[in-house]
Amino acid sequence: MTDRSSPGVWRLYVITDEKVSRGRSHPQVAEAAILGGADALQLRDKEASGGRLYRVALQLRKLTREADVPFIVNDRLDIALAVDADGVHVGQADLPASVVREIIGPGKILGVSVNTVEEATLAEKDGADYLGVGPVFEARGTKPDAGLPLGVDGIARIRRHCRLPIVAIGGINAENARKVREAGADAAAVISAIAAADDIAQAARRLKGILEEEGQR
């Protein structure tokens, strides 16, 4: 795993979601986010057919490879393998992290969604490379089934028990990004604050600046 692909050095993790992108496609959002400094990119689409998701993933794989930005596929292990993505992100209702690690091998990135210390320690034991901790703030606009917000205290609690890089997710924007870094998150995963912005590249640039600034204090 190269330095660039190590989750520990990420600050801005952008998730593409056409539900909130105001008519802009996954590749359009991805290209602008990369221009704005995204450190990692995740393709997430719960409704696309396998065929369409594969075609979109191929486009994003090309974009991210040219920009040297790690490319992660949400949930769909088959798509991640088919396009040679850099990794896959799974939730608590998906295949167990230990099984996913066996399938993808040691050279790919594995992210796991967690919201308790118990889930986090199990993910660490099962071979995760980073923890997607959340929802930190209210996030039902992009994830209707999201649980109750953990708040920044939830990040701090998991940080005390786990050494893996933490990517905070859920309702994060330029107004509250500093709080997640202060609580111990290494990076912020963002959907609406980037994909729904008037100027995606500018929004990404601003948010990354905030996340980097907080990490240097």
What domains does the chain contain, in order, with CATH numbers?
A: 7-215 (3.20.20.70)
Q: What is the pLDDT of residue 2?
A: 47
Confidence of residue 1 (pLDDT cuts 50, 70, 90): very low
Catalytic residue among 44, 159, 179, 181: 44
* Average pLDDT of the residues in 2-16: 87
Catalytic residue among 113, 192, 206, 208: 113
Confidence of residue 139 (pLDDT cuts 50, 70, 90): confident
The more confident residue out of 81 and 139 is 81
End-to-end CA distance of the chain: 27
Confirm if 131 and 167 have CB atoms less than 8 A apart.
Answer: yes
User: pLDDT digits over 178-204, tens only?
Assistant: 999 999 999 999 999 999 999 999 999
Q: What is the pLDDT of residue 111?
A: 99
Locate 122 and state its tokens. 């199990």
The pLDDT mean for the chain works out to 94
Is 98 annotated in the active site? no
- Closest-CA residue to 77 (of 52, 102, 41): 102
Is 25 annotated in the active site? no
Instruction: Please state, as a whole number, how many other Cβ atoms lie within 10 Å of the Cβ of residue 91.
Output: 14
User: pLDDT digits over 12-33, tens only?
Assistant: 999 999 999 999 999 999 999 9
The model's pTM: 0.94
The more confident residue out of 64 and 138 is 64
- Listing DSSP states for 138-168 in one string gives --TTT-TT--S--HHHHHHHHHHH--S-EEE
Is 5 annotated in the active site? no
Q: What is the pLDDT of residue 107?
A: 96
Catalytic residue among 108, 143, 159, 206: 143
